[in-house]
Amino acid sequence: MDFAECYQDTCSALALAARQGDARQVQRLLKLGYSGDVKDNRGWNALHEAAASASSECARLLLNAAGRHSWTSQDYVNALTHNGETAIYLAAKNGRTRSVRWLVKAGADASLKTSDLSCPLFAAVDGCHVDVVKLLIKHGAEANGERSASGWSCLHQASFKGHAEIVQVLAGVSNLEATDDYGITPLFVAAQYGHSQCVEILAEAGASVNCQATDLATPLLIAAQEGHLSCVEALLHHGANPDLFCNQEQWQLPIHAAAQFGQIRILQRLVDVTCRDCDRAEGKVSPVYLAVLGEKAASLRPLLQAGYSADAQPCPQFGYGCPLELAMESQDITRRKEIVRSLLAAGAQASERAYVCALRHSEVLPLILDYRGLPGGEDGAKLAKRALLEMWNAAHWLPLLLKAGMDPSLFLNCKMFEETHINVLCFFLEFLNWSTLPAELQTTLTRRLAEMPPCSQRVRLASVPALAHLCRLALRDAAGSDRLAKKSFVQRLPIPSILHDYLQFSSVFRAYRNTFSSPSNS
């Protein structure tokens, strides 16, 4: 049988009259001897119906009649439905102040719990019925103790609802530090849901603003995470500690939550009051990491402007050596590009891992090359070797690396000649003397060219390079690929300016512009 839905054929005539608030009919039926204790399929009798309805007069009539009939007044007034609800619970839940007054006067127990551990006071709080709350407390309703399956007290529920007047009433009779199953106090709940007036009331009443839940989260952390600036201000005003660690590893602070969730105004507020040890200290985690983790480029600005390092410290907690490495993992291309640019502009150094990750991202590699250039010496050779493992993406990284000045000889490898697309290979050969390739590579090239349809490019690459091309290769070998890639260097050479673009292979980049998304010199 369903204890929630009322089956009409199980209701007595008296209960139906009480439900409708028809006091005259209730009085008439009582005089005719109808019993008020007949229950329907939910276990509701006429008094339950009267308490839940808007007619307190029906409740009064039933209570007066209880003592004159076989159903005793005390048992009747506290009769339970199948869900453990009393008449006073239903009246409190529906805000029936006058009915509550009649029931209390008749001896109703205002502290009886329902099957789901609620009680009349909790129901009144949940419904924001302040007059009923005051009436119940005046008549001794128990305000403390668990009042829900999760262990919430009435004060927890009032804080959740954000009803400041009820919080004010309960703060004087409740345990301010009562915790639920997760170690959360009423003040924590108020901060979590943005009820700053409730936070103020509870803090003024003596509730701890530095209480910590089971996971060590604080009210300030949760308010920062949820973006409740007024609660953050109230908490700080009452002495909340922004440097209280909020996790077992002792690195997470409210400023981290604000950065990760993009709560910019709160982040700006916390920057001014948070200790800077978290910026570079070993074992800590810079909030810069959290801004990157949350993909919140806007969070980076106040941090970097305030002097937080764009490189931060190595972060074994997240498995990255610097924020730039973490930024490479973003799944959103637009955000990834924006965050990488912000970090680089703020001075972030590019690690080997960052360069390697950038090989896979066409929008990021140009930024790293523009801001940091190519790694030199052995690091440059390592990058070229690593790039050869990403041949599937060579059309992206090869033009960019060559344009930045990487030595083409670093790519003289069987993988380049065997695995790359023929158009990419032809582009690469434009930077070499293809007539002097090692025998093994020359054999592979001949075979690959034979696969091409007859074209001028195929014919040209099968012949000796032009003298002009050999001359610019000789000059590049003498000056170095990295130096020849710089316009400032080329412009200082004692040669006609008309040759500047030629020395930088500008015509080659232009010729392959439609094949590759590589920028070209104009």
pLDDT at 183: 95
- Is 363 within the bounds of a domain? no
- Is 383 within the bounds of a domain? no
- Is 516 within the bounds of a domain? no
Asked if residue 504 lies in contact with residue 521, where contact means CB atoms within 8 angstroms, the answer is yes
**pLDDT tens-place string over residues 33-45:** 898 889 999 999 9
| Amino acid, single-letter form, for residue 378 | E
Distance CA 349, CA 372 (A): 7
**pLDDT tens-place string over residues 110-151:** 988 888 888 999 999 999 999 999 999 999 898 987 776 678
Asked if residue 481 lies in contact with residue 406, where contact means CB atoms within 8 angstroms, the answer is yes
- Is 412 within the bounds of a domain? no
End-to-end distance of the chain based on CA atoms, in angstroms? 83
Per-residue three-class SS string for 80-129:
CCCCCCCHHHHHHHCCCHHHHHHHHHCCCCCCCCCCCCCCHHHHHHHCCC
Least confident segment among 73-77, 92-96, 263-267, 472-476: 73-77
pLDDT at 6 over 90: no
Q: Average pLDDT of 364-373?
A: 95
pLDDT at 73: 61
Query: Could you tell me which residues come within 8 angstroms of residue 96 by beta carbon, excluding any fewer than 6 positions away?
Result: 51, 52, 53, 54, 56, 59, 132
Distance CA 111, CA 118 (A): 9
- Is 18 within the bounds of a domain? yes
**pLDDT band with cut points at 50, 70 and 90 for residue 1:** very low
pLDDT at 519: 40
- Is 122 within the bounds of a domain? yes
What domain range is 77 assigned to? Answer: 1-142
pLDDT at 522: 31
**pLDDT tens-place string over residues 207-254:** 999 999 999 999 999 999 999 999 999 999 999 999 999 999 999 999
pLDDT at 521: 36
Domain with residue 137: its CATH number is 1.25.40.20
Residue 331 sits at φ, ψ, to 5 deg, of: -85, -15
Count of domains for the chain: 1
Could you tell me the sign of the dihedral formed by the alpha carbons of 45, 49, 50, 52, in that order? positive
Query: How crowded is residue 230: how many other Cβ atoms within 10 Å of its Cβ?
Result: 14
3-state secondary structure of 424: helix
CA angle 302, 305, 306 (to 5 degrees): 85
pLDDT at 518 over 60: no
User: 447 vs 517, which has greater pLDDT?
Assistant: 447
Rg value, the chain, Cα: 38
- Is 24 within the bounds of a domain? yes
Asked if residue 22 lies in contact with residue 15, where contact means CB atoms within 8 angstroms, the answer is no
pTM of the model: 0.85
- Is 128 within the bounds of a domain? yes
